[in-house]
Amino acid sequence: MMGSGNLNQFEGRFMTNEPMSRHTSWRVGGMADRLYIPHDLEDLKLFLGELKEDEQLTWIGLGSNLLVRDGGIRGTVIATKNMEDSIILLKGGLLLAGAGMSCAQLAKTSVKYGLTGAEFLVGIPGTLGGALAMNAGAFGGETWGVVHSVTTINRRGVERIRSKEEFNIAYRNVELGKDEWFLSATLKLKSDIDQNGKAIIKDLLNRRSNSQPIGEASCGSVFKNPDTGEPAAKLIDKSGLKGIAIGGAVVSEKHANFILNKEDATAEDIEKLINKIQQVVKEKFNVLLIPEVRIIGTYMPEGTSSNG
Ligand SMILES: Cc1cc2nc3c(=O)[nH]c(=O)nc-3n(C[C@H](O)[C@H](O)[C@H](O)COP(=O)(O)OP(=O)(O)OC[C@H]3O[C@@H](n4cnc5c(N)ncnc54)[C@H](O)[C@@H]3O)c2cc1C
């Protein structure tokens, strides 16, 4: 996959045949051929410069919205989660942050800077890059609701500043060009005149731990809420699916839109459970639930077992 370069020149962490279960919050997923965690932007560019032109690339953050199939991922995965990312306060309520920064850190720092509007990000266990790609949201807030502009990078390491208006922003989805990924974002926030930020953060974290199985292996909400009618969790609950299991994958009793990896589930168990929920809810309510979670990678080859 690499050109003439020497791996020793990179400061990041390079791994081969790396289990994706180590890089996803569901703790499932087969091996990535290669996985790289860049140290910083310069290092990322150096690494990209050494890739073969046709190397298949998969970009991830903290893997908190990913189901990686048991056959793993061909090519190279770039994980921005531990990248040395800065957060800079600019004039006029603008905050510039790197895509590898965690949403929690971003929310807390924005409050420290006396800004309001990004508190909702506090309990979302992903990176800013993932939040941009997913248009992550919670408690009425949405990532792109506070974005002013972003910088993207392509596989040749070329950076590009793009305004919010250039994107097609949808519920839990934002389209990016092929071979283009988020590098940073400038958020437009308001001055927190009432200085309520810390209290808002505390309240949001409390509300989350009261309603969600925090601390268990999951990807958060599996399905998007349908456009009309009741939320996905309600439909799943009313279908009597709370607690049902396939292999080690179980529908949470606390929040019906969460699937937990309870007992060494495989990605196959989880995908089967996703399909089962879709089928039952469709039969009962004639609503097709669409997964919010991104399902990637290959199946195990025919005749082999996910359980090894
Ligand atoms: C307990 C729990 C609670 C959650 N609560 C919420 C919630 O309240 N609201 C919500 O919206 N989500 C929630 N999630 C889901 C998840 O945290 C969010 O979708 C988050 O934004 C994903 O970020 P990530 O860095 O983990 O992305 P990943 O899971 O690593 O990737 C998700 C997608 O983003 C793409 N991506 C990642 N980084 C980049 C980048 N730099 N450039 C381009 N594309 C990129 C990936 O290719 C992939 O398609 C929850 C998850 C868990 C486990």
pLDDT tens digit sequence for 199-224 = 999 999 999 999 999 999 999 999 99
Which residues are catalytically annotated?
Answer: 172, 221, 292
**Residue 86's pLDDT is what?**
84
Ligand 1: lining residues by beta carbon, under 6 Å = 25, 59-66, 80, 99, 124-127, 129-131, 133-134, 136-138, 176, 181-182, 214, 218-220, 294
Distances (CA, A) of 91 to 95, 101, 105, 108, 189: 8, 21, 20, 19, 11
**d(C-alpha 236, C-alpha 240), whole Å:** 7
**d(C-alpha 302, C-alpha 30), whole Å:** 15
**Residue 160's pLDDT is what?**
97
**Residue 4's pLDDT is what?**
47
For 61-90, write each residue's pLDDT tens digit: 999 999 999 999 999 999 999 787 789 999
- Nearest residue (by CA) to ligand 1, atom 51, is 220
- Tokens (6 digits) for 288: 């097709």
**Residue 308's pLDDT is what?**
43
In the chain, the domains with their CATH numbers are 7-79 (3.30.43.10), 87-193 (3.30.465.10), 213-296 (3.90.78.10)
For 46-66, write each residue's pLDDT tens digit: 999 999 999 999 999 999 999
- Give the contacts of 21 (CB within 8 A, at least 6 positions apart): 27, 28, 29, 68
> What's the 62 CA to ligand 1 centre distance in angstroms?
7
Residue to substitute in 57, 128, 132, 134 for testing ligand 1 pocket (most ligand atoms within 8 angstroms of CB): 134
- Nearest residue (by CA) to ligand 1, atom 27, is 130
Q: Using only the alpha carbons of the chain, give its radius of gyration.
A: 20
Spans of the chain below 50 pLDDT: 4, 308
